[in-house]
Amino acid sequence: MDTNTSLQALMKGPLPPLYFCIGSPVVGNPTQHMMEKAFEQLGYPGRYLTIEVDPDELEPSIWGLLAMHFQGGNVTAPFKQEVLSYLDELTKSASLCDAVNCITRKDDGTYIGDNTDGKGFLQSLVEIVPDLKKRKVVVFGSGGAASAIVTELALHGVREVVVVNRTLTRAKTLVDNLAGISRTTLSWEPWEGIYQIKEHDLVVVQATSVGLFQPDDCIKVAFTPDLHNVIACDVVFNPVETTFLKKAKLAGCQTLDGLGMLVNQGAIAVKQWTGKEPDRALMRSSLEEAFAIC
């Protein structure tokens, strides 16, 4: 391509639409690589930036992104709940779980917050648990990811969901917010000491950030040996095989890593931003490339 022609086209515009991922920490987050591969495959000129935001500087950071007319972006820990007050509108999922991980700029210039974490997780889970509606699900945590997952499990109509958390007020608030939205039985349990996983036929979800970028870290749980028909899931994506999943495998559990959720929630976001369905297999392979596990 002629260089002068390229420069002339660039000068005439339009500027490429910009998207962001904000969090702390975000070093090691592979979302940018995945999203830009998806944009490229779709022939979409979007640019995606990974931005480290100091927890004390969230407000000016958000106003700066909105003032520069970013078309949307992703929000990761620890801002999924704090970001709510800066948005013009929330989807049903985001409102129910009180957390946002995906922001989209509407045609009128306002910003709507959604939560695609739970939807992405559910899509991954139903692929390996076709009888999910008959299952009991134990979810560890009550932060942004946990809230989104519990919300989508309840909307899906699983038999029972138990939220296990050290801060009982947060767990109780989450359960109370979702009361009556479906036939799912919702409850919470205190997390004191080492939590024993000893029931058969469970789905167990590690939905905290423990282990993220720290491969030796793990929540305080113990699996009874020789568990039958138990599915252990972890939302942590780096490392892909967490210590939690390793413990579960040793007890005979089937495991589900965090990559599927990451791909699915990202694909939902791309569809919202571009109106086009991205190639999820390509997005998965881009993550495997980023983690050098091909």
Q: Is the separation of the CB atoms in 221 and 140 below 8 Å?
A: yes
Tell me phi and psi for residue 161, to 5 degrees: -130, 130
Q: Per DSSP, which regions of the chain are E strands?
A: 18-23, 47-52, 72-75, 89-90, 102-105, 111-114, 136-140, 160-165, 185-190, 195-197, 202-206, 221-223, 231-234, 254-256
Strands 72-75 and 102-105: antiparallel
Whether residue 172 lies in the annotated active site: no
Q: Which 3 state secondary structure label does DSSP give 201?
A: coil
End-to-end CA distance of the chain: 33
Q: Which of 193, 143, 138 is nearest to 164 (CA)?
A: 138
Strands 202-206 and 111-114: unpaired
Tokens encoding 240: 């892909």
Q: Which of 132, 237, 140, 256 is nearest to 197 (CA)?
A: 140
Cβ atoms within 10 Å, residue 291:
16
List, in order, residues 6 or more apart from 268 with CB less than 8 Å away: 102, 116, 119, 120
CB-based burial label for 172 (10 Å; 0-12, 13-18, 19+): middle
Name the catalytic one among 37, 80, 119, 247: 80
| Residues labelled catalytic | 80
